[in-house]
Amino acid sequence: MNKITRRQAMGTAAGALAALGIAGATAHAAATDSRAATTPSGTVDEVYQGRRIRITPASGGHHGGHHGGGHSGLPTVRIDGRELHVMRNADGTWISVVNHYETFADPLSLARAAVRELQGATLAPFSPMGGTA
Amino acid sequence: MTVRKNQASLTSEEKRAFTNAVLELKRTGVYDRFVTTHNGFIMSDTDSGDRVGHRSPSFLPWHRRFLLEFEAELQKVDASVALPYWDWTADRTSRSSLWAADFLGGTGRARDGQVMDGPFAYSAGKFPVNVRVDGRAYLRRSLGASVAELPTKAEVDAVLAMPVYDMAPWNSASNGFRNHLEGWRGANLHNRVHVWVGGQMATGVSPNDPVFWMHHAFVDKLWAEWQARHPQSTYLPAAGTANVVDLNGTMRPWNDVTPADMLDHRKFYAFDTEPAAAASQR
Ligand SMILES: [Cu+2]
Ligand SMILES: [Cu+2]
């Protein structure tokens, strides 16, 4: 009785596609024509969907002491100058505070996902122990 | 005794009592304290360092304690309220009564994801999102947009069948029941539901969406079901494990509660599916 009918299932899929449609198409266009500068060292400086993504790889040492103990060795990811809190999973995938429950293959895909999720909004000031915007 | 019911079976009065109590906690600032605490743990729980709330064995007892504290706050407002649970294996579309205007309100509008109906819509004026990762102060959702399907009953059953609670390396790479339920491995149960709801639910400040509590109440119930199915299995690790909370270790931020204290939910509440609940309800 609570079975999903084929029609309902298709409706859901169509709805999901519709919701993804605009953002997805924009994402694709922006990804293909954004001027990404990825150097061999892993530094990224690109404009994606109108937002500036800058990624500075881990320097091997600390990078400002943002993360406290145990977190060094992470790249610094910035969107329009604001730092995005990122984390590396044990399997090598990445998550951020904006996309916390979904993993991404590398910091750049993670940063682009954050840009899409932000829909133009500004990141709140970086505060590792939470806090209000 | 507190009886946690399936959200689909709540009466209109019960739904209103729950949402009113949530709005009152928002008004007094209590609600936002929970969001702040959660985000702090989300950002500090790491696979290679200390971890308490997530990606570690204490994911389940930590959230049980977190929910108990929130439920106690709700009950200070209205003693009749208990946390409802959302069985997303059964109520799995955006057309579920859960998302109706008389309960949580529905998915966000296409333009900006803003929830436009129900008691938590920004336009209703009583539920601003204050603890946030970006500038947007309105509740957002995009039901089913980032991932089309919620976990199925069959996927849940396969995870409930796993006999070992958790195992080394005791993080997001672990095999075992806890990590499959949390969702870093396998079919992806708990994490996927956060992503399916979208908006704030997909972020570190996920408790901004009141559905957070109902989602975790169901995850909590699945833990109880797993315990019932595997009476010989217990919480692991037992002792002496680096970076994670052993059975009798204390959990931050409370520092006076251990996973062992949280193992038996019947000390605190019953689920409407249990005999104890039927007995306590007239
Ligand atoms: Cu959590
Ligand atoms: Cu969660």
Q: Say if residue A73's pLDDT is above 90.
A: no
Q: How far is CA A104 from the centre of its chain?
A: 8
pLDDT of residue A30: 40
Distance B63 CA to ligand 1 centre (A): 7
pLDDT of residue A38: 56
Q: Which residue of B has its CA nearest to A115?
A: B134
Half-sphere exposure of B199 (CA within 13 A, CB side): 28
Contacts of A20 in chain B (CB under 8 A): 145-146
Q: B49 touching A, CB under 8 A?
A: yes
Q: How confident is the model at residue A78 (pLDDT cuts 50, 70, 90)?
A: very high
Looking at the complex, report in whole angstroms how far the Cα of residue A99 sits from the nearest Cα belonging to chain B: 5
pLDDT of residue B281: 59
What's the per-residue H, E or C state across chain B? CEEECEHHHCCHHHHHHHHHHHHHHHHHCHHHHHHHHHHHHHHHCCCCCCCCCCCCCCHHHHHHHHHHHHHHHHHHHCCCCCCCECCCCCCCCCCCHHHCCCCCCCCECCCCCEECCCCCCHHHCCCCCCCCCECCCCCECCCCCCCCCCCCHHHHHHHHCCCCCCCCCCCCCCCCHHHHHHCCCCCCCHHHHHHHHCHHHHCCCHHHCCHHHHHHHHHHHHHHHHHHHCCCCCCCCCCCCCCCCCCCCCCCCCCCCCHHHHCCHHHCEEECCCHHHHHHCC
pLDDT mean over A67-92: 83
What residues 217-276 of chain B have any CB closer than 8 A to a CB of chain A? Answer: none
Tokens of B131: 């603890």
Q: Say if residue A26's pLDDT is above 70.
A: no
pLDDT of residue B118: 98
Q: Write the single-letter amino acid at B159.
A: V
Inspect the interface and report whether the beta carbons of B43 and A128 lie closer than 8 Å.
yes
Q: Say if residue A6's pLDDT is above 50.
A: no
Among A121, A128, A20, A26, smallest CA distance to A67 is for A128
Q: Of A5-9, A76-80, B20-24, B108-112, where does mean pLDDT reach its minimum?
A: A5-9
pLDDT of residue B276: 76
Q: Say if residue A40's pLDDT is above 90.
A: no
Q: Of A37-41, A64-68, B3-7, B111-115, where does mean pLDDT reach its minimum?
A: A64-68
- Among the partner-chain residues A13, A19, A68, the one whose CB lies closest to the CB of B142 is A19
Distance B53 CA to ligand 2 centre (A): 9
**pLDDT, one tens digit for every residue, chain B (282 residues):** 899 999 999 999 999 999 999 999 999 999 999 999 999 998 899 999 999 999 999 999 999 999 999 999 999 999 999 999 999 999 999 999 999 999 999 999 999 999 999 999 999 999 999 999 999 999 999 999 999 999 999 999 999 999 999 999 999 999 999 999 999 999 999 999 999 999 999 999 999 999 999 999 999 999 999 999 999 999 999 999 999 999 999 999 999 999 999 999 999 999 999 987 777 654
Q: A3, A26, A101: best mutation site toward chain B, by most B Cβ within 10 Å?
A: A101
Q: B97 touching A, CB under 8 A?
A: no
What is the distance between the alpha carbons of residues B206 and B121, in angstroms, rounded to a whole number? 16
pLDDT mean over A58-81: 66
Q: B131 touching A, CB under 8 A?
A: yes
Interface pTM, i.e. ipTM: 0.93
Share of chain A above pLDDT 90, in %: 50
What's the predicted TM-score (pTM) here?
A: 0.88
pLDDT of residue A65: 40
Q: How confident is the model at residue A131 (pLDDT cuts 50, 70, 90)?
A: very low
pLDDT mean over A71-87: 90
Q: A31 touching B, CB under 8 A?
A: no
Q: Say if residue A16's pLDDT is above 60.
A: no
In this structure, are residues A12 and A5 in contact, taking their beta carbons and an 8 Å threshold? no
